[in-house]
């Protein structure tokens, strides 16, 4: 049995896929623990959440101090402290710990992010700063950059700052879900599942998971490989292009800075079923539910009811005096059609609760054929349910230093270099994925993404070798999906 839980800004959706398909939609305001008390989840449980992203977008995250250990190089971001790890992971300048204390004392932060250059080759300085930081703020408000795992100091700075802001929320969600499902997995922005311990090192992996979830859900429901998913939610409408059966990938931008974290490409329109009506159009704002769902202010959902649909408690729906419900709907449809025309898709695939009421109208107006699959309103949760464990291991091994890091974490050096290390990395990937709950069929194919190895020569003598490689189990639909 596969269970997907999608904690959105408006609803929490649960999809259970076993001998039959069961879906639940729980409105905003009900806590996760209450939901899980009433809806027993079983089998493998995947959880996606837009809460961390919403915190960042709405600016309700914590006030974060970014402490950097830039060493020699380009002008640093954040508050820089002395100390240096070089490209080989060697400690070549000691940490100026008094500067760390000064930075925190004068910054009075709510959370602290730590980013050292080349920390993914040796995290010792980042760990030392973090240890000190935890004396000033609680441990769930301190994040380090090395678990992000790749070379790019500015990108890690951007990501770790977000991580420090959202870590506490993510730990809270983990605690709640674990009470009912100890072995649950998180659904990432790239469309794969990962263990909570992986996510706690880099909670930014959760960001923007909604487009990935809906893309997987649509692929499972329809098998359509070319088209444009239009996912109509309460707060936003997201457009997710599909090409060759997969969504397009990009990297995640936070506060205008590229984090290099892989994420499904989508375009978001700031209007959805709960957007408030003003005049004959909508404002990009959600102020509670639609009137049809016990809210106070008339929304797009209420306009649909006045146009003849029966959504929720349609008798409660109304629109402001002087407003034409049809003109509100036309305004939304036209806004969306203008965006669709810039993408020029072969087909529209509607998902989300309101899609059966709006997608045919959008298709007719844009001249593009459409489909609203069965279970369209649960496509996101379904996508989470059918996803599989995905894992990427970036290995850097220095046989001279007898040092190895995997995704920025120090690993015992396995005594292998060059091509011999590939086999080790493949086995390790399989072991980690299996430990996370992946089925044997899902770990069969491990891709070698990149490999390079070269000699370290000193004094005209070949000393040892440095090897870099990346292996992965890419995201996709689990072989366990019925």
Partner 1 sequence: MTTAIVFCESYFLHEQAPTHPERRERLQYTWDQLLEEGLLRDPRIRLVHPYPAPPEAVGAVHEGSYLDFLERASLKGGVIDGDTNVPPGLLHRALLAAGGAMAAADEVLAGSVTNAFAMVRPPGHHAGIRGGGGFCYLNNVAIMTRYLQRKGMERVLILDWDAHHGNGTEEIFYQDPSVLFISIHQSPLYPGTGHLSSMGTGAGKGYTVNLPVPPGSSDEVYYYLMESVIVPLAHRFHPDVIAVSAGQDNHFTDPLTSLALTASGYAGLMARAVALAGDLCGGRLIAVLEGGYSVEAALPYTNLGMIAAMAGMDFSGIREPAAYLWMYEEASDPGALQEVRQKVAVLKEQLHSKWGAF
Rank residues 78 and 437 by Cβ distance to partner 1 and give the closer one: 78
Rank residues 110 and 464 by Cβ distance to partner 1 and give the closer one: 464
Residue of 121, 122, 71 lying closest to 95 (CA atoms): 71
Q: Examine residue 131 and tell whether it contacts partner 1 (CB under 8 A).
A: no
Place of tokens 């977008």: 57
Of positions 127, 131, 152, 480, contacts partner 1 by CB under 8 A: 152
Q: Which segment (73-81, 198-206, 226-234, 283-291) binds partner 1 by CB under 8 A?
A: 73-81
Long-range contacts of 361-370 (CB under 8 A, 24+ apart): 361/329, 361/333, 362/230, 362/333, 362/336, 362/337, 365/333, 365/334, 365/337, 366/337, 366/340, 366/341, 368/228, 368/340
Q: Examine residue 431 and tell whether it contacts partner 1 (CB under 8 A).
A: no
Rank residues 146 and 430 by Cβ distance to partner 1 and give the closer one: 146
3-state secondary structure of 380: helix
Strand partners, 264: 249
Q: Examine residue 92 and tell whether it contacts partner 1 (CB under 8 A).
A: yes
3-state secondary structure of 57: helix
Q: Examine residue 480 and tell whether it contacts partner 1 (CB under 8 A).
A: no
DSSP percent split of the chain into helix, strand, coil, nearest 5: 35, 30, 35
3-state secondary structure of 268: strand
Q: Where are the alpha helices (DSSP H) in 1-93?
A: 32-38, 51-58
391-398 sheet: strands from edge to edge: 409-411, 403-406, 391-398, 461-473, 447-458
Q: How many residues bind partner 1 (CB under 8 A)?
A: 31
Q: Examine residue 70 and tell whether it contacts partner 1 (CB under 8 A).
A: yes
Q: Examine residue 166 and tell whether it contacts partner 1 (CB under 8 A).
A: no
Q: Examine residue 117 and tell whether it contacts partner 1 (CB under 8 A).
A: yes
User: What x-and-dash track marks residues 244-283 binding partner 1 by CB under 8 A?
Assistant: --------------x-------------------------
- The CA distance from 205 to 328, in Å, is 37
Q: Examine residue 113 and tell whether it contacts partner 1 (CB under 8 A).
A: no
Query: CB 82 → partner 1: shortest distance, Å?
Result: 9
Of positions 151, 171, 249, 410, contacts partner 1 by CB under 8 A: 151
Rank residues 118 and 353 by Cβ distance to partner 1 and give the closer one: 118
- The CA distance from 39 to 56, in Å, is 29
Q: Examine residue 73 and tell whether it contacts partner 1 (CB under 8 A).
A: yes
Q: Examine residue 9 and tell whether it contacts partner 1 (CB under 8 A).
A: no
Of positions 36, 45, 129, 153, contacts partner 1 by CB under 8 A: 153
Rank residues 4 and 204 by Cβ distance to partner 1 and give the closer one: 204
Q: Where are the alpha helices (DSSP H) in 181-228?
A: 196-201, 209-222
Place of tokens 């993914």: 120
Q: Examine residue 72 and tell whether it contacts partner 1 (CB under 8 A).
A: yes
Interacting residues toward partner 1 by CB under 8 A: 70-76, 84, 86-88, 90, 92-93, 117-118, 151-155, 258, 452, 454-457, 460-462, 466
């Amino acid at each position: 049995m596969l269970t997907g839980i999608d904690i959105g800004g408006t609803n929490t959706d649960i999809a259970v896929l076993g001998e039959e398909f069961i879906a639940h939609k729980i409105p905003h305001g009900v806590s996760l623990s209450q939901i899980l008390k009433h809806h027993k989840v079983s089998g493998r449980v995947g959880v996606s959440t837009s809460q961390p992203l919403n915190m960042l977008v709405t600016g309700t995250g914590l006030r974060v101090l970014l402490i950097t250990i830039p060493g020699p190089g380009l002008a640093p971001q954040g508050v820089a402290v002395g100390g240096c790890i070089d490209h080989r992971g060697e400690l070549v300048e000691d940490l100026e710990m008094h500067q760390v204390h000064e930075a925190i004392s004068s910054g009075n932060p709510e959370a602290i992010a730590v980013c050292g250059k080349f920390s993914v080759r040796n995290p010792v300085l980042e760990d030392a700063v973090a240890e000190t930081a935890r004396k000033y703020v609680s441990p769930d408000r301190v994040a380090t950059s090395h678990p992000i795992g790749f070379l790019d100091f500015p990108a890690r700075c951007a990501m770790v700052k977000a991580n420090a802001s959202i870590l506490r929320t993510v730990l809270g969600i983990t605690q709640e879900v674990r009470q009912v499902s100890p072995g649950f997995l998180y659904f990432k922005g790239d469309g794969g599942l990962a263990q909570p311990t992986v996510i706690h090192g880099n909670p930014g992996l959760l960001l923007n998971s909604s487009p990935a979830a809906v893309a997987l859900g649509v692929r499972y429901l329809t098998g359509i490989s070319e088209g444009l998913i239009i996912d109509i939610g309460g707060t936003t409408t997201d457009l997710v292009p599909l090409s060759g059966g997969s969504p397009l990938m990009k990297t995640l931008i936070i506060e205008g800075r590229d984090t290099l974290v892989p994420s499904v490409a989508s375009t978001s329109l700031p209007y959805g079923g709960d957007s408030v009506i003003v005049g004959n159009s909508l404002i990009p704002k959600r102020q509670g539910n639609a009137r049809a769902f016990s809210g106070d202010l008339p929304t797009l959902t209420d306009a649909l009811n006045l146009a003849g649909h029966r959504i929720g408690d349609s008798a409660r729906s109304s629109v402001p005096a002087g407003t034409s419900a049809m003109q509100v709907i036309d305004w939304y449809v036209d806004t969306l059609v203008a965006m669709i025309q810039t993408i020029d898709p072969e087909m529209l695939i509607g998902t989300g609760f309101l899609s059966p009421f709006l997608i045919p109208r959008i298709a007719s107006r844009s001249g593009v054929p459409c489909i609203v699959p069965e279970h369209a309103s649960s496509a996101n949760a379904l996508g989470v349910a059918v996803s599989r464990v995905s894992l990427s291991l970036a290995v850097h091994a220095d046989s001279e230093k007898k040092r190895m890091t995997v995704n920025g974490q120090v690993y015992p050096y396995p005594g292998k270099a060059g091509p011999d290390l590939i086999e080790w990395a493949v086995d390790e990937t399989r072991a980690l994925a299996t430990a996370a709950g992946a089925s044997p069929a899902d770990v069969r194919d491990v891709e070698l993404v990149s490999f390079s190895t070269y000699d370290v020569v000193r004094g005209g003598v070949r000393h040892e070798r440095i090897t870099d490689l990346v292996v992965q189990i890419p995201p996709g639909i689990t072989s366990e999906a019925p």
